[in-house]
């Protein structure tokens, strides 16, 4: 009980800290890819510190105010259900389905807050964000369905447990590929960053958020990075569990390996981001409902076939 | 019309007083360090200067080294960079942008046109002294300045933020009436 409460307090702090660190490293990597020197790796902490120390915070109304809170709380709630490198806070039957629903809450809350600002750019950004969400959820859900069908369960903990022999990435490579494509849009990286495209809609939903609001959104983003990558790792990479012996030292190693996997997934998305232009929103929609969906359906058929015979 | 000299000279007193009261609290130094190391900039390129900003942001001079980043919305930015001549139409937009930025905010005027009008000093459509309408923390002289001098100006601005002399936003609050009077004078009835 005490240990669970400690984990409950420790995880959000740890995850937001590491998320900000990863985002700083990511800016450095992007800069090196583009032949620049780039900011120091702790730049993201400076940014958040500056945002929280702004003298003025311009709000509009209370719905606008709860937007960032929604974003953080939505992500934290999702985090409770996701096994993170051996740490599991809440688990039950069918939590994979619950997680699929909860993942959307953060984005919807942001949409609510952004819409309340009354800025037309925010409206366009929200529209693009929801369209994109609809686009990537389709192949993503099908590929997750393949995993559910293969393992005959909808419990994340059981899925993680059954992968102790071999990762689902190796058994179901097509579904994993599709889920990683969807991850690119979940992270909001190019070529799927239409909702926050600075040159087109002036950062979209967050156009009116400055100061402390933006600081909170950055923290929410860094939690979200771990949630989204963590879900992928749980489903396809065996939950980041490298060692299966009991013992605290192996648990620590498992957890570190999980963090490393999150970093690897995020870096992959960032490297794609660094060299890619941006799709138009209709192109992105057509892309997601075409090739990834086709591959995902083939992957689902494969999973069905393998699990039956 | 308010005398520019008067605003500046009176302001020295304000700044010292503010420094001691508000800025020099325990977290003041850390806050100012964070502010100076993460200046986000919204640039308003009216005449010249758009060309200079491209090498500044990309791999040639890379201003992200200093934590600076171009931002597209005034709500999220700390520095307003105004480049080139300012005519009456753009001045209106500049003032709106400036007033939408949250405190603390800093303004850099780039080129000789915002300083004294430059070659357009006798035009009917441009204004000559930008600092009559909004407070300016730093000027970059030249027609037009090279990217190196913008980097230099940012470094100076960082020093000014660290020792608390970049206080344009306080000046704007304190002398809001005279600034507004000046603005209304130039816009007349179509403000
Ligand atoms: S400062 Fe020189 S280059 Fe820039 S707008 Fe004025 S005249 Fe043109």
Q: Is the pLDDT of residue B7 over 50?
A: no
Which of the four pLDDT bands, split at 50, 70 and 90, describes residue A217?
confident
> Is residue B10 in some structural domain?
no
Over residues B86-95, the pLDDT tens digits come to 888 888 888 8
Q: Residue A185: which H helix or E strand, with range?
A: helix A173-186
| DSSP codes, B3-39 | -HHHHHHHHHHHHHHHIIIIITSTTHHHHHHHHHHS-
Q: Average pLDDT, stretch A146-155?
A: 86
Nearest CA in chain B to A45: B34
Which of the four pLDDT bands, split at 50, 70 and 90, describes residue B27?
low
> Is residue B98 in some structural domain?
yes
Structure confidence at residue B191 (pLDDT): 55
If you search the block for the tokens 């686009």, which residue do you land on?
A135
ipTM: 0.78
Structure confidence at residue B190 (pLDDT): 58
* C-alpha dihedral, A65 to A67 to A70 to A75, nearest 10°: -130
Over residues B69-88, the pLDDT tens digits come to 888 888 888 899 888 888 88
Cβ B72–A208 below 8 Å, yes or no? no
Q: What is the pTM of this model?
A: 0.82
Beta bridge partners of B40: B69
Which of the four pLDDT bands, split at 50, 70 and 90, describes residue B12?
very low
Chain B contact for A120, CB < 8 A? no
Nearest to A207 among B65, B73, B102 (CB): B73
Over residues A219-240, the pLDDT tens digits come to 888 888 888 888 888 888 877 7
Structure tokens that stand for A252 in this block: 């620590």
Asked if residues B105 and B169 have their Cβ atoms less than 8 Å apart, the reply is yes
Q: Which of B44, B85, B117, B125 to mutate to test the pocket of ligand 1 (most atoms within 8 A of CB)?
A: B85
* CATH number of the domain enclosing B159: 3.40.50.12280
Domain housing B72: 29-187
Structure confidence at residue A57 (pLDDT): 76
Structure confidence at residue B17 (pLDDT): 47
Cβ B62–A208 below 8 Å, yes or no? no
Q: Is the pLDDT of residue B13 over 70?
A: no
Structure confidence at residue B20 (pLDDT): 47
Over residues B132-177, the pLDDT tens digits come to 888 888 888 888 788 888 888 888 888 888 887 778 888 888 888 8
Which of the four pLDDT bands, split at 50, 70 and 90, describes residue B6?
very low
Which of the four pLDDT bands, split at 50, 70 and 90, describes residue B2?
very low
Over residues B42-65, the pLDDT tens digits come to 888 887 878 888 888 888 888 888
Q: How far is the CA of B143 from the centre of ligand 1 (A)?
A: 5
Q: Average pLDDT, stretch A57-80?
A: 84
> Is residue B7 in some structural domain?
no
Whole-number Å distance between alpha carbons of B186 and B182? 7
The contact set of B with A (CB < 8 A) is 27, 30-31, 34-35, 37-38, 58-59, 62, 64-67, 71-73, 75-78, 100-104
Cβ A198–B72 below 8 Å, yes or no? yes
Domain ranges of chain A: 2-308
Cβ A39–B102 below 8 Å, yes or no? no
> Is residue B15 in some structural domain?
no
Q: In chain B, how many domains are there?
A: 1
Average pLDDT score, chain A: 85
Average pLDDT score, chain B: 79
Residue of A227, A236, A194 lying closest to A100 (CA atoms): A227
Share of residues in chain A with pLDDT > 90 (%): 3
Give the CA count within 13 Å in the CB-facing half-sphere of B62. Answer: 15
């Amino acid at each position: 009980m005490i240990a669970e409460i400690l984990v409950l307090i420790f995880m959000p702090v740890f995850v937001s800290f590491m998320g900000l660190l990863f985002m700083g490293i990511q800016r450095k990597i992007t800069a090196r890819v583009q032949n620049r020197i780039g900011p120091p790796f702790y730049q993201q902490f400076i940014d958040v510190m500056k945002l929280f120390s702004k003298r003025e915070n311009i709000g509009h109304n209370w719905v606008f105010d709860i937007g960032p809170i929604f974003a953080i709380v939505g992500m934290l709630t999702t985090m409770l259900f996701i096994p993170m490198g051996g740490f599991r806070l809440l688990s039950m039957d069918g939590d994979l389905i619950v997680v699929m629903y909860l993942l959307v809450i953060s984005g919807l809350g942001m949409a609510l807050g952004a819409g309340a600002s009354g800025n037309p750019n925010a409206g366009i950004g929200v529209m693009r964000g929801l369209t994109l969400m609809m686009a990537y959820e389709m192949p993503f859900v099908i590929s997750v369905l393949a995993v559910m069908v293969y393992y005959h369960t909808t419990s994340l903990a059981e899925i993680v447990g059954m992968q102790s022999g071999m990762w689902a990435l190796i058994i179901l490579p097509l579904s994993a590929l599709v889920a990683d494509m969807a991850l690119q849009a979940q992270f909001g990286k190019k070529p799927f960053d239409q909702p926050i495209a600075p040159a087109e809609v002036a950062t979209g939903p967050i156009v009116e958020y400055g100061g402390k609001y933006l600081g909170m959104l950055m923290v929410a983003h860094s939690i979200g990075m771990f949630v989204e990558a963590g879900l992928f790792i749980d489903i396809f990479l065996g939950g980041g569990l490298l060692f299966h012996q009991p013992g605290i030292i192996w648990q620590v190693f498992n957890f570190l390996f999980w963090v490393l996997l999150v970093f690897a997934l995020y870096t992959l998305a960032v490297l794609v981001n660094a060299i890619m232009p941006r799709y138009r929103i209709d192109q992105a929609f057509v892309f997601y409902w075409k090739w990834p969906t086709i591959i995902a359906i083939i992957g689902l058929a494969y999973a069905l076939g393998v699990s039956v015979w | 019309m308010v005398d520019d000299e008067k605003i500046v000279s009176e302001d020295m007193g304000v700044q010292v007083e503010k420094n001691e009261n508000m800025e020099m609290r325990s977290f003041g130094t850390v806050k100012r360090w964070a502010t100076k190391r993460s200046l986000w900039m919204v640039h308003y390129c009216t005449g010249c200067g758009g060309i200079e900003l491209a090498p500044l942001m990309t791999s040639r001079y890379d201003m992200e080294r200093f934590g600076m980043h171009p931002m597209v919305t005034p709500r999220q930015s700390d520095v307003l960079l105004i480049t080139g001549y300012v005519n009456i139409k753009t001045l209106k937009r500049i003032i709106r942008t400036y007033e939408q930025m949250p405190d603390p905010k800093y303004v850099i005027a780039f080129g000789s046109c915002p300083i004294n009008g430059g070659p357009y000093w006798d035009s009917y459509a441009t204004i000559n002294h930008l600092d009559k309408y909004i407070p300016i923390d730093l000027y970059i002289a030249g027609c037009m300045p090279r990217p190196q001098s913008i980097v230099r100006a940012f470094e100076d601005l960082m020093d000014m933020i660290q020792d608390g002399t970049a206080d344009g936003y306080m000046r704007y609050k304190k002398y809001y009436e005279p600034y507004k009077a000046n603005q209304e004078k130039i816009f007349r009835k179509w403000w």
